[in-house]
Structures are given as C-alpha cells and as structure tokens.
Amino acid sequence: MIVKEEFLSKLRTYFSLNLYEVKIWTALLSRGAASAGELSDIANVPRSRSYDVLESLEKKGFLVMKLGKPIRYVAVSPAEVVERVKKHMREESDRKIKRLEDMRNTEIIDELKTLHTQGIELIEPSDLSGSLKGRHNLYNHLDLMIKGAEKSVTIATTSQGLLRKIEGLKPTFEKVKKRGVKIRIAAPITREAKDALADVAELADVRHTDMRARFCIVDSKEIMFMVLDDKEVHPTYDVGIWVNTPFFASSVEKMFDSQWKGMGKADDIIRKG
C-alpha cells in the first residue's frame, strides 16, 4: 500500500494520531477487514507494535474487533469516525476545562499567584520583556495586556489588523470599557471596515491614518510592537516584541498623541468614501 507522506501527516493532525496509528488505520481502510499480521505487513509497522496500535484505534472508535481465529478487525466508515473523534475531543476538552475551573477553588492557584508575585519582586522592570512568534501568540498576549489595562489602551494597526482586532478582541474591549478604560485605535480605514466599525463604535475611538505601524500601548507603561508588515508575512511567522518600560512606552505614546489630533474620525472617512 502506497500512501503519500503528506496525506498521512494531514491525517495525524486532523485525528490526533501517531504515525503507526495512521498507517494501520489507512491500511485497514484499504482492505475493509484484516488481521493484525496482514495490517502489519501492508502498513510496514513492526508486528510487535501492531496489536497495541489496533487496541488504541479500537478504543478511539476507528475500528471494530471481530472475534474469531485469527482475530480480524473491521474498519468503521470515515464519516462515522469523524463524528466519534469530534465527540471524544469535545468530551476531553470539557473534562480539561472543568479540571482547570475546579483548580481555581483550590490552594494550588494561590500558591501559583504567590510564586509569580515573589518572582516579579525579584526582577528588574527592564527584564520584563520578550519576543513572541506567530500571530496566535501575539493576539493571546495582546488580550492579556488589554485585560490588565487600568486607564488607557492605544493601538496603531493596519487595515486588515483592524478587522482582526475587532473580531478577536471585542469581548476584551467590552470588559475594560466597563472599567472606564479609554481605547483609541488608529488604522487606514477602508470601506470593508464599515460594518465591523459599527460593532466597536461605543467601545473605542477609531480614527483614520496613513501611518503604517503595528503596536499596542497599555497605560503608558507597556508596549508590544510588531516588527513585520502583515501584508508580507505569513501569520505563523509574524513577530512581536513586548517590553514593560514606562519610559519607552510613554515616549511612543506622546508621538502618537501628536498625530492623533490630526486624524480623521472613522465615521467621517466612511461617509466621504
């Protein structure tokens, strides 16, 4: 049986299987029903491992064991496997979330907070910095920064970055806005942003700018800036630098303030366009 490595790799990702499992499974699908020895030969998997792999696949719902001598295995239809895997992942996710929720009411979280507080006290503010790679990680950290805001959030972004932030950070904007945090966003406003801007009209002051920049400043104390053009970099390779430094953050914000006064309000730009 010849199956492309790329195809096997995709199956491993989608179904959370290891290499032996995906080889045995595809071998079984190609036969419909087979013994462990047959599948071992077809999939080129050591026979000593094939029984463990088949047992694992049976538990995950990929196949059914048919009693007899020799024991044979019957493949479950791929459509049914997808539904079973979805159910298993959902149940596993619910268990993990519940476990974390339960931990919040234990002494473990208090001990973790104590460790973190003591650690913060031992380091210099300038040491609170880091590099983040991948847009998913960047937005996770942006979300964390904004959640901790007490006074202000200042964002400069691109036209596509504006749409991403409205979609991904709106719930966090709503939470900090209720605490009285002032949110300002500067970005090149395009017509496709019109509907999205309506979703944050009451949460943030959004203005148009031709300035191409990507950064976020919170409370004039910490700043995260992206070092690459989001039009030219794949999201996986996007890079950001986070620094907790009031001196640098406040300096950048002052430069932003000088530009902010001359920026057109988003509503006016859209009406004119």
* Residue written as token pair 């195809």: 7
Question: How many angstroms separate the CA atoms of 214 and 164, rounded?
Answer: 12
The pLDDT, as a whole number, for residue 191 is: 78
pTM tops 0.75: no
Run of H or E including 225: strand 222-226
pLDDT of residue 267: 62
| Residue 123 pLDDT > 60 | no
The full set of domains in the chain, from first to last, is: 5-87 (1.10.10.10), 126-272 (3.30.870.10)
Asked if residues 198 and 189 have their Cβ atoms less than 8 Å apart, the reply is: no
The pLDDT value given to residue 102: 85
Q: Quote the pLDDT of residue 128.
A: 59
Most distant CA atoms of the chain, gap in Å:
83
pLDDT of residue 112: 81
Mean pLDDT of all residues in 30-52: 91
Alpha-carbon gap, residue 123 to 132, rounded angstroms: 20
Give the Cβ contact number of residue 74 at 10 Å: 13
pLDDT digits (tens, 9 = 90+) for 136-156: 999 999 999 999 999 999 999
Quick: pLDDT tens for 65-75. 887 788 899 99
User: With b meaning 16 or more CB within 10 Å and e meaning fewer, what string describes 191-203?
Assistant: eebeebbeebeeb
pLDDT given for residue 181 in this prediction: 96
Ramachandran angles phi, psi of 241, nearest 5°: -115, 125
